[in-house]
Amino acid sequence: MTDHSLLEQFLSEAADLLDQVDVGLLGLERDPGDRAVLDGVFRAAHTLKGSSGLFELPHLTRLTHATEDLLDAVRAGRVELTGRTVDDLLAAFDVVRGWLDVVRARGELPSDAAQVAAGLVDRLRAPVRPGVPVPAPRGPGEPGEPGGPGDPGGAPGPEDRRDGGGLPAAPSWLLDDLGAEDVERVRAWLEHAGTGCRVVRYEPAEGCFFTGDDPVRLVSQIPAVEAFAAWPRQAWPPLAEFDEYRCLLAFTVVTRATVAELDHLFRYVPDEVQVAEVDAAGLAVLLGRPVLPCDRDDAAGGGGAGSGGGTGDDPVAAAAREVLRAQLMLLAAPSPDAERTAREVSAARAVRGALAALGRGGPDVEEVLALAGRPDGRDAVTGLVERELRGPQPVVYEGSGRWGPGGVDRRRGGQDRRAPLVDYGRGGRVLKVDQVTVDRLLELVGQLVVAKNGLPFLAAEAEHEWDARPLGRRIKDQYGVVNRISEDLQAAVMDVRMLPLSVVFARFPRLVRDIGRSLGKHVRLELEGQDTAADKDVIEMLADPLIHLVRNSLDHGIERPEVRAAAGKPAEAVVTIRAVQEPDAVVIDVVDDGRGIDPEVVKAKALARGLITQEQLLELGEQEAIELVFLPGFSTVDTISDLSGRGVGMDAVLTSVQAVGGTVRLSSVPGQGSQVRLRVPLSMAISRVMIVAVAGQRFGMPVDLVAETVRLPASRVTRVEHQDVLVLRDQVVPLVDLAATLQLGADRADDGSVSVLVTRSGQEDVGLVVDDFHEGAEVIVKPLEGVLAGSAMFCGTALMGDGSVLLVLDLVEVLAGARVAV
């Protein structure tokens, strides 16, 4: 598996983990004592941190590490989970989500990741370490949190280290931790060598063992150690009370490693580490010795922040080191496989030459260089060059097991990069399939449906044109078989596309919580029927309308707690989203127990917006008044808070739902609440249509809209107020001449009968007069595109089995056209 798909796997799993975290955090806010949920959220954060480590995304790791520590502190009872804490955690994970999107698109974190991480980490760590002063605010707009009582002892924060010439006095903890004897020893060495060095103070978190950290392992990887101290941060408790799982040890190390090397080594725990540059003069000050002018000059001029082991090289050696460093970069850069071998071999040659210039060579060097181009060659050569750059010293830190065929390179943060962090042996019961693949499947199924529909025509052709009746019959039989299989296949693919509504519902708890908080309203969300499934296209369409409806409820429907209390309602409002499956449709209700919709208010607003005239207003009943909200232009931005109604409104909801063949019903009881009922078909892809002949042409009508078909004597048609009607079983059905409406104007053969397609649109039945009825068909209706897109009368076209194209009528438009005509 390539690195690329490992990243994709991580991204997809991270998305799931983030969803889990969101749900968990909201659950915890309601019930902080729920241990299982807390553990689950902690584990998810931990997994995120661990997996992110594979991909060199240090700010991500750092941020998730901070969330993990905070959650761990909550688990241990050291920190209380307040609304504020949850806010911070949610904010952090939101940032993570955003970063992962950027990584998916660009392969790296955004450029401001460091600042954003720093700000969030400060907020997350503040409750955990109240005694530690939180560093000053970092990036713009990211307020630092005032920490607890400051530490006047002046432990310098990480930002105090790299300075220009004239290093500040060495940190005071160096003397405390190492003792005067060691500090003097180091000072004397630095004075003699005319150089500076780095000091590290590593104070691991007490709970670090539980997150898999081993501080000793980390410090054992510090190269070029000159002084070392490990000390307990409190007095050792008596053995009887000693808790072996609580990390009390801290470490102070003097090293010639560069700041960069140390940063890299400690990149996963930067908040627990302080690194400072020191020189002989700084140590002298620390020891209280007088600093002679020449001391300071020597120190400042001598080495300063040299790269590891710089001890006044002559030009050749300096050049050789540059060459070595260049090889390091070369070897570290990613390269396509084809080039890799060549690159390593050429790097090895350059290394050999550079080492020879430095007077280093010999069989052990050759042995390593010979590995170039082989599987472990890169790491081996890189290691050799790093060692050489650090300077001549006994190869002390190559303890057993650090190198070896396929061995772990512990220098790289102690993780074996070749071992995938992901557990692939998970039983494989669920497949993650790309949506594109499923769409393709459906496309193919559609083509199969159309193709198989050609067989009956062939059969007919065989019988009538070729006089081969037996052949015709066998074709029909075979068609039966293929038909059955293709119907099963169709159903199976449609099943694959079925998604549970929980996909859409998932975001609502968070939405309701955030909006409720910002509006100062107490709202509880109830979700029912999350497992109800519908086609993915339908689900996708539902997302925006549902969000709008929920926001509407929160914004306009639900009253503020005081208002509710005054009205005798419970202070906490309830918004319910309920989904129920019917044979051919899914019904979704969005219900709130708010103030309901006042018909008078709606009427006034519609009037003010010029959407309705005074006279029309007077004729409206209550329900019709409420439904004025669906008129385009009813909602505009200025009337509504920033949350809802960005120029969309109920009109957009209605349009979206109707586009998939659904309906919207609004009902309300003033003072008690409102309900919006969405009814959408289970699937959009394949429709059954009824084919009719009109003026010599064929058209399709969705079967859902057909109430019945009747053929009656023409005498049954009567006229009422300039309108042809048919009386059917006590119902008066107005008739529409479809040929006239479609402006096809052909004569109809008058055989004394009339064929009527009785359709139901909304609440009323309308009869369409056609020439003849044909069979029903299952087709895939494709929307009109291009030149025909403007034809309102048709909602799409379908390819028939015989290759002809069927125009499918849009009933609503047809009827609208008919009214105009009449």
Binding of other proteins at residue 242 (CB under 8 A)? yes
User: Of residues 31, 181, 244, 423, which one binds other proteins by CB under 8 A?
Assistant: 244
Q: Which 440-469 positions form the footprint of other proteins (CB under 8 A)?
A: none
Judged by beta carbon, residue 233 or residue 665, the one nearer other proteins is 233
Q: Which two tokens stand for residue 169?
A: 């006095």
Give the containing element (helix H, strand E) for 712. strand 706-713
What DSSP assignment string belongs to 166-232? SPPPPPHHHHHHH-HHHHHHHHHHHHHHT-EEEEEEE---TTGGGGT--HHHHHTT-SSEEEEEEEE
- Return the range that interacts with other proteins (CB under 8 A); candidates 66-74, 156-164, 242-250, 351-359: 242-250
User: Of residues 36, 77, 236, 432, which one binds other proteins by CB under 8 A?
Assistant: 236
Binding of other proteins at residue 608 (CB under 8 A)? no
Nearest distance from C-beta of residue 390 to other proteins, angstroms: 15
Q: How many CB atoms lie within 10 A of CB 533?
A: 21
CB 573 within 8 Å of CB 523: yes
- Return the range that interacts with other proteins (CB under 8 A); candidates 83-91, 229-237, 379-387, 450-458: 229-237
**3 state SS of 774:** strand
Judged by beta carbon, residue 231 or residue 466, the one nearer other proteins is 231
Nearest distance from C-beta of residue 262 to other proteins, angstroms: 17
Judged by beta carbon, residue 326 or residue 408, the one nearer other proteins is 408
Nearest distance from C-beta of residue 324 to other proteins, angstroms: 24
Sign of the CA dihedral 590, 591, 592, 596?
positive
CB 26 within 8 Å of CB 75: no
Q: How many CB atoms lie within 10 A of CB 751?
A: 7
- Return the range that interacts with other proteins (CB under 8 A); candidates 12-20, 244-252, 346-354, 610-618: 244-252
Judged by beta carbon, residue 209 or residue 630, the one nearer other proteins is 209
Nearest distance from C-beta of residue 236 to other proteins, angstroms: 4
CA-to-CA separations, 755 to 255, 711, 818, 819, in angstroms, rounded: 98, 4, 17, 20
User: Of residues 216, 491, 720, 789, which one binds other proteins by CB under 8 A?
Assistant: 216
User: Of residues 175, 193, 230, 717, which one binds other proteins by CB under 8 A?
Assistant: 230
- Return the range that interacts with other proteins (CB under 8 A); candidates 222-230, 351-359, 509-517, 666-674: 222-230
Judged by beta carbon, residue 213 or residue 559, the one nearer other proteins is 213
Nearest distance from C-beta of residue 179 to other proteins, angstroms: 8
User: Of residues 36, 105, 239, 787, which one binds other proteins by CB under 8 A?
Assistant: 239
Quick note: the x/- pattern for other proteins over 424-443, rule CB under 8 A, is --------------------
| DSSP H stretches of helix in 333-468 | 337-357, 363-369, 377-390, 435-452, 454-464
Nearest distance from C-beta of residue 249 to other proteins, angstroms: 5
Judged by beta carbon, residue 220 or residue 335, the one nearer other proteins is 220
- Return the range that interacts with other proteins (CB under 8 A); candidates 231-239, 348-356, 420-428, 788-796: 231-239
Q: Which two tokens stand for residue 343?
A: 């690159």
The dihedral formed by the CA atoms of 505, 510, 511 and 512, expressed in degrees to the nearest 10: 90
User: Of residues 23, 155, 249, 682, which one binds other proteins by CB under 8 A?
Assistant: 249
User: Of residues 39, 139, 143, 231, which one binds other proteins by CB under 8 A?
Assistant: 231
CB 535 within 8 Å of CB 498: yes
Q: Which two tokens stand for residue 742?
A: 């479609």
Phi and psi torsions of 758, nearest 5°: -85, 120
Judged by beta carbon, residue 401 or residue 427, the one nearer other proteins is 401
Widest CA span of the chain, in angstroms? 125
Q: Which two tokens stand for residue 590?
A: 């969005």
CB 709 within 8 Å of CB 758: yes
Nearest distance from C-beta of residue 542 to other proteins, angstroms: 50
- Residue 71: is it exposed, middle or buried by C-beta count within 10 angstroms (0-12/13-18/19+)? buried
Judged by beta carbon, residue 243 or residue 434, the one nearer other proteins is 243
Q: Which two tokens stand for residue 19?
A: 């969803």
User: Of residues 237, 312, 633, 783, which one binds other proteins by CB under 8 A?
Assistant: 237
CB 342 within 8 Å of CB 369: no
- Return the range that interacts with other proteins (CB under 8 A); candidates 70-78, 134-142, 227-235, 730-738: 227-235
Task: Give strand pairing partners of 278.
Answer: 197
Nearest to 134 by CA among 118, 147, 119, 150: 147
Phi and psi torsions of 531, nearest 5°: -80, -10
HEC readout, 62-116: HHHHHHHHHHHHHHCCCCCCCHHHHHHHHHHHHHHHHHHHHHHHHCCCCCCHHHH
- Return the range that interacts with other proteins (CB under 8 A); candidates 81-89, 209-217, 607-615, 639-647: 209-217
Nearest distance from C-beta of residue 420 to other proteins, angstroms: 21
C-alpha 343/C-alpha 337 separation (Å) is: 10
- Return the range that interacts with other proteins (CB under 8 A); candidates 241-249, 561-569, 595-603, 727-735: 241-249
- Return the range that interacts with other proteins (CB under 8 A); candidates 238-246, 364-372, 543-551, 728-736: 238-246
Judged by beta carbon, residue 396 or residue 787, the one nearer other proteins is 396
- Return the range that interacts with other proteins (CB under 8 A); candidates 207-215, 499-507, 543-551, 610-618: 207-215
Quick note: the x/- pattern for other proteins over 389-408, rule CB under 8 A, is -------xx-xxx-------
Q: Which two tokens stand for residue 153?
A: 């002892």
- Residue 171: is it exposed, middle or buried by C-beta count within 10 angstroms (0-12/13-18/19+)? buried
User: Of residues 228, 457, 508, 630, which one binds other proteins by CB under 8 A?
Assistant: 228
Any residues with CB less than 8 A from the CB of 791 and at least 6 apart, and which? 784
Nearest distance from C-beta of residue 241 to other proteins, angstroms: 10
- Return the range that interacts with other proteins (CB under 8 A); candidates 13-21, 243-251, 258-266, 581-589: 243-251
Nearest distance from C-beta of residue 229 to other proteins, angstroms: 8
CB 272 within 8 Å of CB 202: yes
User: Of residues 2, 146, 164, 235, which one binds other proteins by CB under 8 A?
Assistant: 235
Q: How many CB atoms lie within 10 A of CB 180?
A: 12
User: Of residues 98, 232, 570, 671, which one binds other proteins by CB under 8 A?
Assistant: 232
HSE on the CB side for 815, CA within 13 Å? 17
CB 529 within 8 Å of CB 580: yes
Judged by beta carbon, residue 239 or residue 431, the one nearer other proteins is 239
Count of chain residues binding other proteins (CB under 8 A):
30
User: Of residues 3, 80, 159, 214, which one binds other proteins by CB under 8 A?
Assistant: 214
Radius of gyration in angstroms for the set of CA atoms belonging to the chain, rounded to a whole number: 38
Binding of other proteins at residue 209 (CB under 8 A)? yes
Nearest distance from C-beta of residue 222 to other proteins, angstroms: 10
**3 state SS of 457:** helix
C-alpha 547/C-alpha 697 separation (Å) is: 44
- Return the range that interacts with other proteins (CB under 8 A); candidates 211-219, 266-274, 363-371, 727-735: 211-219
Sign of the CA dihedral 370, 376, 380, 382?
positive
Binding of other proteins at residue 175 (CB under 8 A)? no
Binding of other proteins at residue 617 (CB under 8 A)? no
Q: What residues line the site for other proteins (CB under 8 A)?
A: 204, 209, 214-217, 220, 225, 228, 230-232, 234-240, 242, 244-245, 247-249, 396-397, 399-401
